[in-house]
Amino acid sequence: MHLITSEVTIAAGQSLLIDAENLTESAIFPNTNSNRMFRIEQGGTLAIHGLEVSGGKSSGNGGAILSAGDLTLFRGSMGFNRSVNGSGGALSATDGSRTCLSDTAFIGNDADVNGGAINLRNGEATLTRCSVIFNSAGPNNFGGAIENIGGTLALTDCRLSFNSVDGFGASGGALDNFNGSAWLTSCTLDSNEAHQGGGVLNQSGDHNLIGSGSATPAYALPSDTTGASNVGLLPLDNYGGPTQTHFPQFTSVANDVIALADSPLDVDQRGYPRPADGSFTGTYLIDIGAVETDPETTWASDEDGDGSPFGIEVATGTMPNSFEPNNNGITLVDRDATGAELFFGYNTNAAFVTAWIISRATSLEPDTWTEIYRYDGPTATEIVAPGEDFTVDYSTAGSGIDSNAPPGEAFYRLEAEFIPLPPGP
């Protein structure tokens, strides 16, 4: 653990780069009442890569960082920082500041006044593929997560969830925008709380997902998805990448919404390529928000809790959102002198990452199964084991004939195997 024991000031003309992407430990600021981590004066520059900035506490604006200069945060997090009697629990950026935040998570920050996570005042700020979650501002104030006063703010592919500001006079559970410009594009806002609007936006981009308690219809454009009572997000956790995220369920209304031409970003917050068709629909559209439902993470999930991973259920034609234990996706239809005819589950939407394997055994004893047939979906290649005679007709889902079926009892087993996609560019 690395401790910052006093405020670091970056004066005009000074630059500081902290690159911690290869560290395995966090940078944690001791929780005091009088200091913050960094102060950037006008003309100063601070760039932080791969650092967890947590535990900061100040008696004024900017619990962890107060900036009047240039600030860049990349692939890190700011969590559980606090502004006492001030605004911007994690960050306060003031007149003339320029702030660039990407692939960064703001979690559990709070301020006694405005902007539980971020307070922007007459500056410029961009957030790209950021998660802003569980932040809060003081009672009867503004911007549970972000407060923008007279600044220029742009959020792209961000997720703002479970932020709040209490009190009858409070507004903007996710974002309060006052005399400034705030553009949100391909963002998800859900489960934010305030007396007047979870999100109060002066200007809005398109393709936002606005769930219950997040914004009034006046701030929604025709391309936005609004009023979703259940956005369909998994709990905040590690789903790959440098920070925690809310991964969309395969049934989420955030999935497969945005055409590639309508988004300038080809990776998500974790660095995974987009689009990726992680919902296995055969539709290559970008998901709304910071995280793209990639096939590998979705494949391993088990949302219905029946012990069978999502990918296997989709690939074998069973129901990934219905509890179906012990369904092996294969049915023996007929057996005669010419062989055994069987049907097996085959879903073409899963072919880009799936291999189907059929094995045979004459008993159910362990280690008696022999692979007789394999279909490699990514290459559309059929592989029949040496000495076997197995043919498949894919025009009727998966219909197979085993001409070498042994006399007496025979058992068949269908398996689906995940084939990783080649690395992106």
Q: Which residue has the higher pLDDT, 241 or 287?
A: 287
Please list the helix, strand and coil fractions of the chain in percent, rounded to the nearest 5, in that order. Answer: 5, 40, 55
Q: What is the pLDDT of residue 203?
A: 45
Can you give the three-state secondary structure of 52-97, one letter per residue? EEECCEECCCCCCEEECCEEEEECCEEECCEECCCCCCCEEECCCC
CA–chain centroid gap for 236, Å, is: 9
Residues forming beta bridges with residue 49, ordered by sequence position: 19, 74
pLDDT band per the 50, 70, 90 thresholds, residue 202: very low
Q: What is the mean pLDDT of residues 168-189?
A: 83
User: pLDDT of 78-90, one tens digit each?
Assistant: 999 999 999 999 9
Assign domain 330-418 to its CATH architecture. Answer: Sandwich (2.60)
Query: Which pairing describes strands 152-156 and 124-128: parallel, antiparallel, or unpaired?
Result: parallel
Q: What is the pLDDT of residue 396?
A: 60
Q: What is the pLDDT of residue 121?
A: 93
Distance CA 61, CA 1 (A): 26
CA–chain centroid gap for 399, Å, is: 38
Q: What b-and-e string marks burial along 20-51, b requiring 16 or more CB atoms within 10 Å of the CB?
A: beeeeebbbbeeeeebbbbbbeeebbbebbbb
Which residue blocks in 243-344 are alpha helix, DSSP H? 295-300, 310-315
Q: Which residue has the higher pLDDT, 137 or 323?
A: 137
User: pLDDT of 101-116, one tens digit each?
Assistant: 999 999 999 999 999 9
Q: What is the mean pLDDT of residues 267-285?
A: 79
Q: What is the mean pLDDT of residues 352-371?
A: 88
**How does DSSP classify residue 372?**
E
Q: What is the pLDDT of residue 4?
A: 63
* In the predicted structure, residue 200 carries a pLDDT above the cut 60: no
User: pLDDT of 23-76, one tens digit each?
Assistant: 655 555 444 445 789 999 999 999 999 888 888 899 999 999 999 999 999 988
Q: What is the mean pLDDT of residues 325-341?
A: 67
* In the predicted structure, residue 218 carries a pLDDT above the cut 60: no
Range with the largest mean pLDDT of 125-139, 252-266, 353-367: 125-139
Q: What is the pLDDT of residue 107?
A: 96
CB 117 within 8 A of CB 90: yes
- What percent of the chain has a predicted confidence (pLDDT) above 90? 33
Q: Which residue has the higher pLDDT, 232 or 330?
A: 232
| Mean pLDDT, rounded, of the chain | 81
Contacts of 70 (CB under 8 A, 6+ apart): 40, 44, 45, 46, 97, 98, 99
Task: Determine which of 89-93, 126-130, 233-237 has the lowest per-residue pLDDT on average.
Answer: 233-237
